[in-house]
Structure 1
Amino acid sequence: MKRLLSRLLQLVRIRLSLWKDIFYFHKLTIKYNASIHTDNDIEKMQYTLLRENHTIEKGLSLKNPRKGFGQQKVLKLLKRLNKYFDVYGKTDKEFLIYPLGTIKHYIHYTKSTGVEIPIIEREYKILMEKSGFVDVKEQGGIIQVSKDEILKKCNSSFESLLNSRHSIRYFSKETVTKDIIEKALNLAQRTPSACNRQGWHTHVFQGEESVRLIKWQGGSHGFEDEIRTSILVTANLKAFLYYEIHQAYIDGGLYAMNLINALHSLGLGTIPLSCGFTHDKLKGLADFDIPKNEVPIVIIGVGNLLENFNVAISKRKNINLTNKFH
């Protein structure tokens, strides 16, 4: 009887602890989530603008961008950049340089296809004059890289491995073999995990099933049919204890990045596709035979490289902006 009572009390404590952590995270999310009072916080606004800027870069990096694509998105971005300058220009005006460089690239690209965009050009010029920038480099947008260049760099050193990896949005028609996927999976298995539990799982989809998964994810408009091989990385909630409610995402994220680097080291192209969705959206994974106890971490689109292809520049921040020595 005492043992049963003790066990019941332990279960009550565990449930109370879980609810406390859930409530605490709820409070943090309400306060800091970028969807709430976005423009009242410079960091929230900057992160949101970077996301909107990358939408333009993604469009430019497709195999065959639609002629004149993205005009409304660029105008929307210019409007928000104007607001950013009005509210935060005195605090961090330099932030504008990257998205302005992307828009400059977009203008040159779009005009080169024979599409005139006078309204965008006018709004861009107004913001440039308003912000006081004489000129900005085209540091956003796309660059062309080659398969030979990638293959030379991806295994020469760890530094070259990281610097030569790009998110790739179109591939050759050559099928990715099971052998090379298994080799990458074995390499990624070296990922460290909390107490060596290795709570990650992978689900490999090929052909039309891969395309169906990519279409469910919904963030690859314009190149869904390119991704004929995809790997859904999940983490098993059964691997973690009551005080580790975020550990599944930490271990799963570590594994996913190692798998991406492993695939890249073997000469394959990859693109990570977010699974950061609401519960209603995630219920759709049941259609792909994914157990409820597995939380999705990321979908990795995989393919063989073409001889030459375009990639988004995706300029990285200086570490002074992302690091603090204590």
Structure 2
Amino acid sequence: MSAFLTRATRYAISRTRLGEAASKIGDFCHHFYYSFSERTPEKDKQRLKFYLFKYHHIIEKGLALPKPNLCFGQPKIINLIEKSESYVKKYGHDKIIDSIKKTIIEYLAFHEKQGATLPEKFERKLLDFSAQANSNCIGGLRPVVKSEMNNLTPQEFNDFVRCRYSVRNFSNEPVDENLIFTAIETATYAPSVCNRQSWHVHYYSEKNTIRNILYHQNGNAGFADTIDKLLIITGDTRAFTENESNQIFVDGGLFSMNLILALHSAGLGSCALNTSYSYLKEHSVKKIARIPNSERLIMMLAVGHTKQNFDVAASPRKPKYDFFTTHNY
């Protein structure tokens, strides 16, 4: 009997490892198929738009350095302009084009202020492209006064974060969807690689739909029926290149935490629900939730009003020295 159990255990482990390997292959194939190529990003509108965000932000970052190199980034800027013109030709004028033009104008202004001479042909290309720019758009640099960042003391922020809990006991009060929409807008100020903002939020308010989706998530037992709204945060693989397969989860996680805190600031409770699926199961859940296949699931987020009094898991935290190392050399 013990020998049989050993064989059965080994077989189960083997199947688990094979299943995990198959999922990793699925992850690789998904990223390989949907990610954009640096050489040919024009495969579709979204890939090209993410490409423009990436290279536009490279110029912005260059201008924001303490001492930008004179005439920096010329090949990248020429390429950005050519890809922008291709975008306009295929898909029409968009806000991203206005932002790029404004950044090009600031690039020109920086060199004029420095008394630097740009190559004539290069400068002409920049001037022609940035003509008729919309000065009211966001792009280039934004001046910041330090005092505007001092809107919370460390203790106030500490108190705010420490009273944020994962709620599994919501009230019957319906959530005004405008509170959620405002929180989503606030969350967009999370950092993302080269400002590509690959995240997407799928919003569900119909009870049967929420129930059907949560049936395939194993962390909501006992409180699923109290959830008033459900959000699924995803990342769009088309925002990334071949070496950035993990970045979709980093950016999506940063956005999700911002969203959780924004909901908390609105007086709402939330609970992050993991989407740690095999690749095939993730595909099935996306189909049920009507999520495009180019996206990857980051997490589900249960949302509702809290009761006046309720219990939460105490969730003790590790002391910081368990996960903090000083390197003084």
Q: Please, what TM-score do these two structures have when normalized by structure 1?
A: 0.52
Secondary structure of the residue aligned to 1:216 is: coil
Question: Cα deviations across residues 267-310 of structure 1 (Å, max 9, x unaligned)?
Answer: 00010000111112212221111111100001110001111001
The code of the aligned residue for 1:225 comes to D
CA distance in 2, matches of 1:190, 1:231: 18
Q: Tell me what 2:257 maps to.
A: 257
For each residue in 1:165-202, what CA deviation from the matched residue of structure 2 results, as whole angstroms up to 9, or x when unmatched? 11110111111111101110111011111111100000
For 2:116, the equivalent position in structure 1 comes to none
Matched, 1:211 2:211: yes
* Counterpart check, 1:181 vs 2:160: no
User: SS in structure 1 opposite 2:231?
Assistant: strand
Matched residue, 2:169: 170
Residue-by-residue CA offset, 1:15-38 (whole Å, 9 max, x unaligned): xxx99x969xxxxxxxxxxxxxxx
The structure having more radius of gyration, on CA atoms, is 2
Aligned to 1:297: 298
Gaps of 5+ in 2: 1-23, 30-154
Equivalent residues in 2 for 1:79-90, closer than 5 Å: none
**Counterpart of 2:230?**
230
Task: Show the 5 A alignment for 1:1-326.
Answer: 157-208=156-207, 209-284=209-284, 285-326=286-327
Give distance in 2, aligned partners of 1:254 and 1:229.
21
Spell out structure 1 runs of 4+ moving beyond 3 A.
Answer: none
The one-letter amino acid of 1:320's match is: Y
Q: Distance in 2 between matches of 1:22 and 1:325?
A: 36
Distance (Å, rounded) in 2 between the aligned partners of 1:184 and 1:287: 25
Query: CA–CA distance in 1 between the matches of 2:212 and 2:218?
Result: 10
Contact kept in structure 2, 1:211 and 1:227, CA below 8 Å: no
Contact 2:167 2:270 in 1 (8 A): yes
CA distances 1:212-268 after superposition (whole Å, capped 9, x unpaired): 222221221111111121110000000001111101000000000100010001100
SS in 2 for 1:251: helix
Q: C-alpha distance in 2, partners of 1:181/1:171?
A: 16
Aligned residues: CA RMSD: 2.1
Q: Following TM superposition, by how much is the alpha carbon of 1:321 offset from its aligned partner in structure 2, in angstroms?
A: 0.8
The CA deviation string for residues 2-24 of structure 1, in whole angstroms up to 9 with x for no partner, is xxxxxxxxxxxxxxxx99x969x
On the 8 A contact 2:169/2:223 being kept in 1, the answer is: yes
CA distance in 1, matches of 2:324, 2:281: 34
SS, match of residue 276 in structure 2: coil
SS at match of 1:312: coil
Q: Is the 8 A contact 1:211 1:228 kept in 2?
A: no
CA contact (8 A) 1:191 1:258 kept: yes
Q: Call closer, same or farther: CA 1:286–1:179 in 2, change over 3 Å.
A: same
Contact residue 213 and residue 288 of structure 2 kept, 8 A: no
Contact 1:240 1:248 in 2 (8 A): yes
The AA in structure 2 aligned to 1:304 is H
Give the secondary structure class of the aligned counterpart of 2:234: strand
For 1:289 and 1:231, locate their aligned partners in 2 and report how far apart those are by CA, in whole Å: 13
- The letter for the 2-side match of 1:290 is I
> How many residues are treated as equivalent by the alignment?
176
